[in-house]
Structures are given as C-alpha cells and as structure tokens.
Amino acid sequence: MALMMCRICLRPDPMVRLSLFEGTIAGRPAAEVLAIVADVPVLAGDPFPQVCCSDCWQQLEAAFNLRELVRESSRKLGEMLAGLGADRVVVKQELEDVEEQQQDPIGTGTTWSTIVDNYEITKVEMPNPEYK
C-alpha cells in the first residue's frame, strides 16, 4: 500500500496528488528531476510516497529550471572566456617605493618614515563580448 502523502513535504493526503513517475518536468520524468535536484534516489516501487502535492511540484520545477539556467550560464561563460584568449591584453604596472610619514602618536612632536615595498598591479582588459 502506497503512502498517500507528499513525498517532498510529507503533507498528509494532499488534495492534489501528482505522480512522480507519470508526470514530467521539462520533458523528464518528475522522479528523475527530484533525484537530480535533491540528490537522493527516487525509485518506482520503493516504500516511499509516489506522489507530491502541487505546491512541491511547482517548487521542484522552479529548482530544476534554476539548476539548468546556472549550468547553461556557466557553459556560456566558459565559452566566452575561452574565446577571449587572443583578445585579452594584460597591462602590468610597477610602482616605486612609497614613503609614508607619520606623526608620533605619543605627542613628542617627532615624525618617522615607513617604506612600503614595491608591489605590482596586474590589470586585465577585455573587449565587451557580444551577447546573443
């Protein structure tokens, strides 16, 4: 006997029960989407509920769509950065020692100097990529 509660939020006997194994989200079985998003096994015939409520279905769909958007954006960013290799210009600037003068904090009226070491600034200039 299958448990008649939402597999995700455990709401008992939800009025709207959507089958995780018959319904689809983004063209995939909802059970597969749940397994991907939650990183838990979801198997037909396991002792867990086989349905979810409409609220959880919507949240599952939104989570999966966000996951896909992040993955696609990451792929596109990788392609954009790989394509910038030849166009990238690296500008290096070396700065000279900087001398800082400070007043004596205990009020003797003396000053002293501190030498700040050389440091290097690297600036990468890239052309604006065209977004499609």
Helix (H) or strand (E) holding 76: helix 54-83
Q: How far apart are CA 8 and CA 18, in angstroms?
A: 12
pLDDT digits (tens, 9 = 90+) for 85-97: 655 666 666 666 6
Question: Mean pLDDT over all residues of the chain?
Answer: 79
Domain boundaries, the chain: 17-83, 89-125
Q: Are residues 101 and 123 in contact, defined by beta-carbon separation less than 8 angstroms? A: no
Number of helical H runs and strand E runs in the chain:
2, 8
Strand 120-125 with 89-94, pairing? antiparallel
Residue range 44-91, pLDDT digits in tens = 999 999 999 999 999 999 999 999 999 999 999 998 888 776 556 666
104-120, pLDDT tens digit by residue?
555 666 555 555 555 55
Per the annotation, does 9 bind a ligand?
Answer: yes
* Cα(98)–Cα(3) distance, integer angstroms: 73
**Residue listed under structure tokens 């690297």:** 122
Is 52 annotated in a binding site? The answer is no
**Distance from C-alpha of 114 to C-alpha of 100, rounded to nearest angstrom:** 5
Q: Give the pTM.
A: 0.60
What's the pLDDT score for residue 83?
Answer: 79
CB 19 within 8 A of CB 6: no
List, for residues 2-35, the tens digit of each pLDDT value: 678 999 999 987 788 899 999 999 999 999 999 9
